[in-house]
Structure 1
């Protein structure tokens, strides 16, 4: 995706660092492979729940590390589904009445969903822009662009200030404070072109 550049907006310098997700997901494949062999052979069955739990923990770390790379991922359904699969897999690991295969299948599903989110994040999917901002200035978007945007908090803050969720786009806005400077960040997760022109009210 390519954003149309407008004076005052700069490409964000933030880059995804995927070392932790890469190694934790690779390790989780091993801890998922051993339970499969144990269940098939019928040997060391007592270790199966613990290995599945270790897989879930590793994948949870991968998901958390990926999630921390981009604010916009808080809106991503893949992250939501991964969180549900993680909780479900952990819950069923030590349930005596449930089959270990079921917990293992949930863990496998968690790997797939986490991998898909991590893959797009590592590839720099979407765009990130930033604009120098006045810390006392409230956010106000162009009325023509408010159709799918919701301002959560117009006051500059490190938390979410505005969000957008459509069938083709996820986007969030927030501020970062560096020393005495305030930067307004726009994080967009989409394959479509995002037009920055007349996006803010001050530019209309």
Structure 2
């Protein structure tokens, strides 16, 4: 992890870059496996292969979504990720339903591509901010009372899972800990175009 040369109340801005090789190649490959079914359905030839090609597209896009999701912990709150998951499951279900049109399954797969691409695009561009702060592993999390209006503490005990979340119309944010060789670090991951105010964020900073 490369750290920016800034120091704000013990918080270090992080320049942890998203690795988007897998999403890039899997989404590119899915375009091919979606294009062939269109040609097959229009021509009426080799239509028996259409469900399998759509299924392959869904699997590729599912891998792209999973790889993108793993880059930023805050994406667990993102509606684009939720919608992509729903489209993925629905498309895979409709593929082999004899009463459903293959065009519908293909349209759902195309919708999955669009939603996954939007999430991956923002993730690749480093949308939002990420900070980390050295933390004591035995110390419980306590936020400034003024921030509790839009923050919810899930688990105050330092853990690699989510400790606190914030979901508003303007931002998505999560807090969690990572236990590294140099100690325990509290991580703040914010998905927003607005500037995040770190001043007096924790109760200890009052």
TM-score bracket, shorter-length normalisation: over 0.9
The gaps in structure 1 that reach 5 residues or longer are: none
Aligned residue runs from structure 1 range 112-191, under 5 A: 112-179=114-181, 181-191=183-193
Note the alpha carbon deviations across 1:83-122, whole angstroms, 9 max, x for none. 0000000000011111100000000000000000000000
Gaps of 5+ in 2: 1-5
* CA distance in 1 between partners of 2:115 and 2:7 (Å): 32
Deviations 1:158-189 (A, max 9, x none): 00000000001000000000025000000000
Q: Contact (CA 8 Å) 1:5, 1:196: kept in 2 or not?
A: no
Q: Is 1:111–2:106 an aligned residue pair?
A: no
Contact 1:79–1:114 (8 Å) recurs in 2: yes
Q: Distance in 2 between matches of 1:5 and 1:149?
A: 24
CA contact 1:127–1:188 (8 Å) conserved in 2 = yes
1:42 CA drift (Å): 0.3
TM-score, normalisation: structure 2: 0.96
Large movers: runs of 4+ above 2 Å? none
Contact 2:40 2:50 in 1 (8 A): yes
Aligned to 1:73: 75
The match for 1:18 is 20
The aligned length equals 201
Matched with 1:32 is 34
How far the C-alpha of 1:67 sits from its partner, in A, is 0.2
Report the Cα distance in structure 2 between the residues aligned to 1:180 and 1:108, rounded to whole angstroms. Answer: 45
Q: Distance in 2 between matches of 1:140 and 1:97?
A: 54
Once the two structures are superposed, residues 53-80 of structure 1 have per-residue CA deviations (whole angstroms, 9 ceiling, x without a partner) of 0000000000000000000000000000
Structural RMSD (CA): 1.0
**TM-score in terms of structure 1 length:** 0.97
